[in-house]
Structure 1
Amino acid sequence: MAEQRASSPVERAAEAKRARDLEAEVGALVGGHGALVGASWAPTRVGDLVWVTCEASGDQPRWTETYEVVASTEPGPGEQCELRLVEHTAPSQELAGWFGGPPEFWGEDAITTAWMEAGADRLAVVRDGAVVFQGRHALAGPERSEPRVANAVGADGVFGAAVVVERHLTPAEMDGLMGRVIERGAEIRREWEGK
Structure 2
Amino acid sequence: MRRSVELQIITEALQKMGPHAPATRIWGRAPGANSDMAAEGNVWAGEPHDIALHIVTRLYGEQKAEPLSPLAQAEDAKRARDLVGEVGILMSAGADLESAPWHPVRPGDLVHVHYETAGTAATFGETYQIAAGRHGFLSMQLLAHTLPTDVDPGGMVGCFAVEDDPDPLMELWFEAGPHRLTIVRDGRPVHIGGAR
> Does the alignment pair 1:124 with 2:185?
no
Greater relative CO (CA pairs within 8 A, separation 6+) = 1
Structure 1 partner of 2:19: none
Larger Rg: 2
Q: Distance in 2 between matches of 1:80 and 1:3?
A: 39
Question: Percent identity at matched positions?
Answer: 37
Structure 1 partner of 2:63: 2
Structure 2 partner of 1:11: 72
Q: Distance in 2 between matches of 1:82 and 1:113?
A: 13
Matched residue of 1:85: which SS? strand
Q: Distance in 2 between matches of 1:59 and 1:14?
A: 23
> Does the alignment pair 1:87 with 2:148?
no
Q: Distance in 2 between matches of 1:45 and 1:12?
A: 28
Q: Which amino acid letter does the alignment assign opposite residue 54 of structure 1? A: Y
Q: Structure 2 stretches of 5 or more lacking a match?
A: 1-61
Alignment of 1:27-176 (within 5 A): 27-73=88-134, 75=135, 79-91=136-148, 92-93=151-152, 94-102=155-163, 107=166, 109-136=167-194, 171-172=195-196
Structure 2 partner of 1:23: 84
1:101 is displaced (CA, Å) by: 1.0
Q: Which amino acid letter does the alignment assign opposite residue 51 of structure 1? A: H
Matched residue count: 131
What is the TM-score with the length of structure 1 in the denominator? 0.63
Q: Distance in 2 between matches of 1:114 and 1:122?
A: 9
Q: Distance in 2 between matches of 1:129 and 1:96?
A: 24
Whether the 8 Å contact between 1:6 and 1:122 is mirrored in structure 2 is no
1:6 is displaced (CA, Å) by: 2.9
1:51 is displaced (CA, Å) by: 0.1
Matched residue of 1:11: which SS? helix
| CA shift digits 1:160-187 (9 cap, x unpaired) | xxxxxxxxxxx35xxxxxxxxxxxxxxx
Q: Distance in 1 between matches of 2:119 and 2:171?
A: 25
Task: Tell me the C-alpha RMSD between the 2 structures.
Answer: 1.6
Structure 1 stretches of 4+ moved >3 Å? none
Q: Which amino acid letter does the alignment assign opposite residue 71 of structure 2? A: V
Matched residue of 1:95: which SS? coil
Whether the 8 Å contact between 1:88 and 1:96 is mirrored in structure 2 is yes
Q: Which amino acid letter does the alignment assign opposite residue 172 of structure 2? A: A
| CA shift digits 1:119-145 (9 cap, x unpaired) | 000000000100000112xxxxxxxxx
Matched residue of 1:16: which SS? helix
| CA shift digits 1:35-91 (9 cap, x unpaired) | 000001111010000000001223433100000001112x4xxx3112100111124
